[in-house]
Amino acid sequence: MTKTVAIVTGASQGIGRATAVRLARDFSALVLVARGRENLDETAQLVREAGAEALVIAADLGEPAAAQRVVDETVSAFGRIDALLNIAGAVPQIDLFEMTDAQWDGGLALKLHGARRLTVAAWPLLKAAKGSVVLMSGNSAVFPKAPYAAVGTINAAIVALAKAFSDRGIADGVQVNSVLPGPVMTGRRQSYLEHWAPLHGMTVEEAAAKFPEEAGIARYGAPEEIAELMAFLVSPGAKWMTGSALRMDGGEVKSI
């Protein structure tokens, strides 16, 4: 049986971890990439328990040389790449007029350029395997607001980048899509609520209820729900879907 290999970035926590564990049901081996080794080892254990091999690569994809190292180590271990899921990249939610150039550059370096460089580096292997790529954006791409201007701007760039890759992929046989999640309850969001709530005289539970209500949705999403969409996009059943930007946000975006 031919081994199938998927690279998941941002795999140490949240949506990245959930996606890696979900893909362990469909791929023979998962390459897990993030900056922190300790949390990656925890993800690797979950992947192995789910039935797949796991290779851990601690790398900061904001650094230009990291992408090629990830591809080289993947090829050395497994000889191929069938899917690439670019999930890494947290962008600070800071007001448009308060963000520094360094904060803008940090978000761009990891989420946009990290995904771009890794996709380019992996492309020859993906072309050989007729593989799939997913780039993680966010629904702020379609309604950027001042309090999270960088998030919306970079997410919109991710959607455009995925569309450009998909255009090249038509000739090369590589399928490329982007995913735009809405508010998802991850460890990072939980930490934010724990910080924000006391500053506004609320309990964490009250704060957690406030944000979905203001967003016009019933609840936060779960990382595992986004992982199911990611798994579908790199499955045989989605092969004719390319160049699409798929929102999964509980109905937060009200436009068509």
| Domain spans of the chain, in order of start | 5-184+222-248, 185-220
Tell me the pLDDT tens digit for each residue of 83-114: 999 999 877 778 888 889 998 898 899 999 99
Q: Return mean pLDDT, the chain.
A: 94
pLDDT at 158: 97
Q: Which H or E run includes 9?
A: strand 5-9
Over residues 176-195, the mean pLDDT reads 91
Which range is least confidently modeled, 32-41, 46-55, 202-211, 216-225?
A: 202-211
% of the chain exceeding 70 in pLDDT: 100
Q: What is the pTM of this model?
A: 0.94
CA distances from 47 to 19, 24, 75, 94 (A): 10, 6, 19, 35
Confidence of residue 1 (pLDDT cuts 50, 70, 90): low
Contact between 156 and 112 (Cβ < 8 Å): no
Cα–chain center distance at 112: 11
* pLDDT(200) > 90: no
Exposure of 147 in the CB half-sphere (CA atoms within 13 A): 0
φ/ψ of 144, rounded to 5, equals: -65, 140
Lowest-pLDDT choice from 92-101, 176-185, 246-255: 92-101
Segment 104-147, tens digit of pLDDT = 898 899 999 999 999 999 999 999 999 999 999 999 999 888 88
- CATH number assigned to the domain with residue range 5-184+222-248, chosen from the 4 options 3.40.1010.10, 3.30.1280.10, 3.40.50.720, 3.40.605.10: 3.40.50.720
What pLDDT, on the 0 to 100 scale, is given for residue 256? 84
Q: Is 92 exposed, middle or buried (0-12, 13-18, 19+ CB in 10 A)?
A: middle
> According to the model, what pLDDT value does residue 152 have?
92
251: phi then psi, degrees, rounded to nearest 5:
90, 15
Tens digit of each residue's pLDDT (9 = 90 or more) over 16-69? 999 999 999 999 999 999 998 889 999 999 999 999 999 999 999 999 999 999
pLDDT at residue 150 in the model: 86
Q: Residue 3: what pLDDT?
A: 86
pLDDT value at 212 more than 60: yes
